[in-house]
């Protein structure tokens, strides 16, 4: 079975040549993050991913998590040893502030590391990945005392973190949640309720777990405007961080699920547990969205990592598997050629490669927007970055996770029947990656967020700003050597998306179902536009260096050409679907469904 290897050269291409991370960080006042420093981090992370956690991927899937006694969860063999090594080497704090024991690396570098870890072992990566998401939340919403107490523990890996939103009767509609928060005389709250689908809710990796829990106070209004956010630790710490009494929070069961068996997805019971308000009362959902939006980009990154792992297996198999004859060639082995030479297998491999490298570059750019939002000295640039990131977060999440399923299915198809059995490992990637389209709001919810809240909410202002950004690039490069085959279709698509967006703004004023009917194909259309823009940008970099002996430049140009000629035509069908309107969806009676 092929073992995951970090695509180090591609990360270097995107970070250094496309996004120019070092010069960007220098403009943000952090010149210490030069290319050599970033490369050292990428290389070390790649070794850890391939040598330490990738070998645990299949065994962790087979063993899963166990509950040997009520409330006690054991992770698969080797997971804790790998976690301890990860902690000793300081990886938890890579993107954490030095104020809290971190190293302060930009988010875009941390995102590249996260993709490697997820590609090597998605289930294992979910533990530190979720913990860092809680770090981001507390760093944004916590008091000085809460930050000083909790953030160093998360940055060191000594404590883990979770997000507790979903309840058995209420999924995405958090306004229906029933978990209660009763205020106490000492300023704490008694948290009572049940949360489900809690990633890493209980485990044997850390000495404590910081649960971030959404709950409602007695006098709060109904709906989402009456939700508050609370820190509820597994063990109650003192002011110095030493853990004390066990809190009244416990795991009642581990979900039996399709994939990521090595990650404990728990039902958590809060039985009058002691909690502390995080942020403002009745503003908990806004506070939790800091974490959710971080996770939405992260799960797109996770999907890209799993796509990469499946592609590596499919590519290696296609180069070795002898079957059939390739027209116009003479085989060195009598009677058969490697299947990588067959046109349809090449189509499947190139489709995977196009999806992976495009999604990777798009997600890393989104992470860089987060860095610019936090760090750039120009307030206008910070605002511009924040608006672009807010607009495109659902696109990164939904597009990458949809492509993740499609690409891992293609990897199985390359293997044929050998992909459907466990011994080759590729079927696990499909089972694992399927959850990504459900995480942090299903992809249908992401589509409604993009069209309903982001586009229609401001009558297309932010979308037009993104279209202007892409159009400026296309217009600037349209007459450059070798760029016309990329910029012309990009310009055409930009005009088409502007037209469709304007049509939807108008239709939604008269049809209450217009946005819901168009949301999913619209997100996919915008996703293709974002990928076309990022592929054209990568082609420009590669064309400028096409005289180099480094094969990555010829590869980028060839893959960009494949995307524009073979993938982009899908946008015509998406526009037709959008323009079909809501009638055929909403007119049939419910009893006909």
For residue 309, what is the enclosing H or E element? helix 284-320
β pairing state of 208-215 and 159-164: parallel
**Residues 115, 355: Cα–Cα separation, whole Å:** 14
Question: Is 17 an active-site residue?
Answer: no
Q: For residue 427, what are the CA distances in angstroms to 227, 413, 431, 433?
A: 40, 10, 6, 10
The per-residue DSSP string of 170-212 comes to BSS-GGG---EEEE-TTS-EEEEEEEEEEETSS-SSSSEEEEE
β pairing state of 265-277 and 249-254: antiparallel
**Residues 116, 309: Cα–Cα separation, whole Å:** 9
Strand partners, 265: 199
CB 411 within 8 A of CB 395: no
**Residues 251, 71: Cα–Cα separation, whole Å:** 5
Q: For residue 530, what are the CA distances in angstroms to 354, 459, 471, 565?
A: 13, 20, 12, 16
The catalytically annotated residue of 440, 485, 499, 503 is: 440
C-alpha 114: how far from its chain's center?
Answer: 9
Ramachandran region, residue 125 (left: φ > 0; alpha: ψ -120 to 50; beta: rest): alpha
Q: For residue 309, what are the CA distances in angstroms to 105, 253, 553?
A: 25, 30, 22
| Residue position matching structure tokens 């040997």 | 68
The set of residues, in sequence order, having a beta carbon less than 8 Å from that of 306 and lying 6+ positions away, is 118, 119, 122, 404, 408, 429, 432, 433, 436
Ramachandran region, residue 71 (left: φ > 0; alpha: ψ -120 to 50; beta: rest): left
Length of the chain in terms of residues written: 593
**Residues 133, 263: Cα–Cα separation, whole Å:** 16
Catalytic residues: 440
């Amino acid at each position: 079975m092929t073992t995951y290897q970090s695509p180090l050269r591609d990360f270097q291409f995107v970070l250094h040549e496309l996004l120019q991370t070092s010069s960007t960080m220098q403009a943000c006042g952090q010149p210490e993050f030069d290319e050599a420093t970033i490369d050292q981090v990428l290389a070390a992370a790649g070794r850890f991913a391939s040598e330490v956690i990738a070998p645990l991927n299949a065994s962790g899937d087979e063993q899963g998590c166990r509950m040997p006694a009520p409330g006690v969860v054991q992770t698969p063999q080797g997971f804790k040893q790998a976690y301890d090594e990860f902690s000793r080497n300081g990886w938890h704090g890579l993107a954490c502030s030095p104020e809290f024991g971190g190293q302060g690396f930009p988010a875009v570098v941390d995102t590249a590391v996260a993709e490697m870890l997820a590609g090597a072992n998605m289930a294992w990566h979910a533990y530190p990945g979720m913990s860092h998401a809680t770090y981001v939340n507390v760093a944004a919403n916590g008091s000085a005392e809460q930050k000083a107490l909790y953030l160093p523990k998360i940055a060191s890996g000594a404590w883990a973190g979770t997000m507790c939103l979903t309840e058995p009767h209420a999924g995405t509609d958090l306004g229906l949640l029933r978990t209660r928060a009763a205020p106490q005389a000492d300023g704490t709250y008694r948290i009572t309720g049940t949360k489900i689908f809690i990633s890493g809710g209980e485990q044997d990796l850390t000495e404590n777990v910081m649960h971030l829990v959404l709950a409602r106070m007695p006098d709060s209004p109904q709906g989402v405007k009456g939700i508050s956010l609370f820190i509820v630790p597994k063990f109650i710490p003192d002011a110095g961080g030493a853990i004390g009494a066990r809190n009244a929070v416990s795991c009642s069961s581990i979900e039996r699920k399709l994939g990521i068996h090595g990650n404990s997805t728990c039902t958590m019971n809060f039985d009058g547990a002691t909690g502390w308000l995080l942020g403002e009362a009745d503003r908990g959902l806004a506070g939790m969205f800091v974490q959710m939006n971080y996770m939405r980009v992260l799960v797109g990154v996770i999907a890209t990592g799993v796509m990469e792992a499946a592609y590596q297996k499919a590519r290696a198999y296609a180069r070795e598997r002898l079957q059939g004859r390739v027209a116009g060639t003479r085989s060195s082995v009598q009677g058969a050629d490697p299947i990588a030479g067959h046109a349809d297998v090449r189509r499947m491999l190139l489709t995977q490669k196009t999806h992976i490298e495009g999604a990777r570059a798009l997600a890393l750019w989104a992470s860089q927007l987060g860095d610019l939002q936090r760090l750039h000295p120009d307030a206008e640039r910070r605002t511009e970055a924040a608006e672009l990131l807010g607009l495109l977060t659902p696109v990164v999440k939904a597009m990458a996770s949809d492509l993740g399923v499609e690409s891992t299915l293609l990897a199985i198809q390359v293997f044929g029947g050998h992909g459907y059995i466990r011994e080759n490992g590729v079927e696990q990637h499909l089972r694992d990656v399927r959850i990504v389209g459900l995480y942090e709001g299903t992809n249908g919810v992401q589509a409604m967020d993009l069209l309903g809240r982001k586009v229609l909410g401001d009558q297309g202002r932010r979308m037009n700003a993104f279209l202007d950004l892409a159009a400026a690039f296309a217009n600037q490069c349209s007459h450059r050597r070798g760029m016309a085959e990329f910029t012309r279709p990009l310009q055409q698509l930009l005009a088409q998306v502007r037209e469709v967006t304007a049509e939807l703004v108008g239709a939604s004023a008269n049809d209450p179902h217009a946005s819901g009917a168009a949301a999913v194909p619209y997100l996919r259309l915008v996703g293709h536009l974002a990928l076309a823009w990022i592929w054209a940008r990568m082609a420009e970099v590669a064309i400028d260096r096409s005289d180099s002996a480094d094969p990555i430049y010829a590869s980028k140009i060839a893959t960009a050409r494949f995307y524009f000629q073979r993938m982009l035509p899908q946008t015509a069908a998406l526009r037709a679907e959008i323009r079909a309107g809501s009638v055929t969806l909403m007119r049939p009676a419910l009893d006909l469904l």
